[in-house]
Every structure is written in C-alpha cells, then in structure tokens.
Amino acid sequence: MELLDHLRRKFAYDAWANREVLAGLSATARPLARSLQLLAHILSAERLWLERLRQQPQSLPVWLELSLDECEAQIAELDELWREYLAQLSPAGLSENVAYKNSKGESWTSSVEDVLTHVLLHSAYHRGQIASLIRASGEQPAYTDFIHAARQGLIE
C-alpha cells in the first residue's frame, strides 16, 4: 500500500473514531463539559490544519464551545473535506512544504506528510484524554482502537 492510500485509510479511521466518541458522549446521562470541549478542539484543530494546507485563513478558534449537534455537523463536514483534499493530493504532494503561522503567531514550514501525520496523532491523543475522563466518571468510553475498526470492516 502506498503512503497516500495509507493516509487516506487513517483519515477514514479518524472520522469513524470521532463519530464513535460523539456517539459515546451522546449516550451518557450528562456529557462531561471537558470531554465535549476536547472533542470540539479536535474538530477545530483538524479544520485549522486543513485550512493551513489549503493556504486559507483560519475560520475557527483553536478552542471553541460546540454542542453535540454542532460536533456531529463538524465531523460530517470535516470527513468530506478531508476526503476531497486527500483525493486531489498526489504522492509527490506529500513532500511539498507548507508555510503557516501557529496559534502563537510564529512562522513555520512543514511537509504535507508531517502535517497529515500530526493531525492524526493529535486527534488520537485527545480522544485518549476523553476516554480517560469518561472512565474516571464511572462510564464506559467509546471503543475507538484502530485495530477494532479494521477487524470489523468499519473503515475503508
């Protein structure tokens, strides 16, 4: 499997995992505010990085408040936007550099591949935080392990 196909599959997993977290939060008696805040952050960061890759202005703050319904809409939209972006990306495009400013206003340049890898790992990190918070509250967190999704045929 070539790297670009690998990344496309990992982004399909990412969207599935975000939907699973949302479903888990929706099923709790009262979603923890911090868990919802972390999910909103995952989504705003995914959008921010896509906008950086596309050299578009930042449309959302890095930390924002979203309802469960707003998270659902963001997940669906981001899934489609990432699919579109990755569909038009060539293997050679992975090594291209993108210049951007971080949230502190510092200028940086990173390869497209590094940005894509960061998006996936950043989201997984925060989903792990959400799982820890849910478990600490006495509830069962969403099961978002990649291997589970792969074994069950839940991702392409």
Instruction: Indicate the DSSP class of residue 30.
Output: S
* Tokens of residue 138, six digits: 């006495």
Kindly tell me if the per-residue pLDDT of 32 is higher than 90. Answer: no
Domain ranges, residue 25 = 3-151
Q: What is the pLDDT of residue 73?
A: 98
35-71 pLDDT tens trace: 999 999 999 999 999 999 999 999 999 999 999 999 9
Residue 156 lies in a domain: no
Q: Is the pLDDT of residue 124 over 70?
A: yes
Q: Is residue 81 in a domain?
A: yes
Asked whether residue 72 is domain-assigned, the answer is yes
Q: Burial code of 46-84, b = ≥16 C-beta within 10 A, e = fewer?
A: bbbbbbbbeeeeeeeeeeeebeeeebbebbeebbeebee
pTM surpassing 0.75? Answer: yes
- Statement: residue 1 has pLDDT above 80: no
The model's pLDDT over 65-98, given as tens digits with 9 standing for 90+, comes to: 999 999 999 999 999 999 999 999 999 999 999 9
H or E element, residue 76:
helix 68-88
The count of other CB atoms within 10 Å of the CB of residue 134 is 20
| Domain assignment present for 50 | yes
Residue 30 is predicted with a pLDDT of 73
Which H or E run contains 98?
A: strand 97-101
CATH number at residue 131: 1.20.120.450
Tokens coding 108: 């940086």
Phi-psi region of 68 (alpha: psi -120 to 50; beta: other; left: phi over 0): alpha
Confidence of residue 28 (pLDDT cuts 50, 70, 90): confident
The count of domains in the chain is 1
